[in-house]
Structure formats: structure tokens, C-alpha cells
Amino acid sequence: MRAVVQRVDRAQVRVAGEIVADMESGLLALVGVAPGDTASEAESLARKIVNLRVFEDEDGLINDSLIDQGGSLGVVSQFTLMADCRKGRRPSFGSAAPAREAEPLVEALAAAARRTGVPVVTGQFGASMSVELVNAGPLTLLLDTGGVF
């Protein structure tokens, strides 16, 4: 699994003009799933995200996690994160898991994050979504359960 995690002041997801997710400060995770990814990886990635020390503590040092800060997590599926752009100009999406495999893993990641007590909002799997966010910092991280990043 792969995630682009952004620290945000706020974020909102719309589908067909309707708001499906709305959050204040926290982290927004765009999540891609590869064939062969597992529920265990989804759980591990969720724990990693909610425990990332990317927020300022009371001394102004980047020491606090999402759990420490009491922020929210937005989870949005994004199969394009698995794109291979090494050849030519047209990305290949053959490295993305089919929807029937990917959707349960994105849901498992969100569920695992909820179990930590973090408020979680999600996009709509498979929909064409408009994601609006205010990146705080900016702070953007790439995570990959395969150890690429």
C-alpha cells in the first residue's frame, strides 16, 4: 500500500457537488493499493499514519502525533498512486489492485485508524472526487508498506 499524507488545516471531499467528507486540522491520506496488499499492511499503515510525529508540541517542536493533537484523519482512495510513469508519457495503472481487492483494504485502514480513537472521514471509493485542502506547513510525506519510501 502507498499513501501520500498531508498535514492540513482543513479538507473537504465532494462527489457530484455534494460534500461527502469534511474535516478540520489533521492529516489527509491519499491511499493506493497494489495487488497482494493485505489487511495486516492496512492496519500497519493506519498505525503509522496516526502516530507520525508531525505536529508541533507545546514547545514548538515537531514531536506530536495526530493522536496527541486530537486531530482528524481523512482517507481518500487514489489508485493513481500506483501508476508506473517510467516509460513514455502515458502512465500505466497495472500496478493498482482491482477495486474488489482495493476497497476492503482502504476501508480496513480507515477502521484501524478509528480504533485508535482518531475521528476519520472518508471519500467515496471509485467515485470521481474533488478534494480541497489547505496544506499546513506544507508538510507532505510518502509512505509505502513495500519499503519504497
Query: What residues are annotated to the active site?
Result: 78-80
**pLDDT > 90: percent of the chain:** 97
**What pLDDT, on the 0 to 100 scale, is given for residue 146?**
84
pTM of the complete model: 0.94
Paired with 2 in beta bridges are 32, 144
**What pLDDT, on the 0 to 100 scale, is given for residue 15?**
97
What is the chain's mean pLDDT, rounded? 95
State mean pLDDT over 6-29.
97
For residue 127, the 8-state DSSP code is S
State mean pLDDT over 120-142.
96
Whole-angstrom distance, CA of residue 48 vs CA of residue 109: 11
| Four-way CATH pick for 2-141: 3.10.640.10, 3.30.565.10, 3.90.1150.10, 3.50.80.10 | 3.50.80.10
**Sign, Cα dihedral of 115, 116, 122, 124:** negative
**pLDDT > 70: percent of the chain:** 98
Contact (Cβ atoms closer than 8 angstroms) between residue 118 and residue 66 = yes
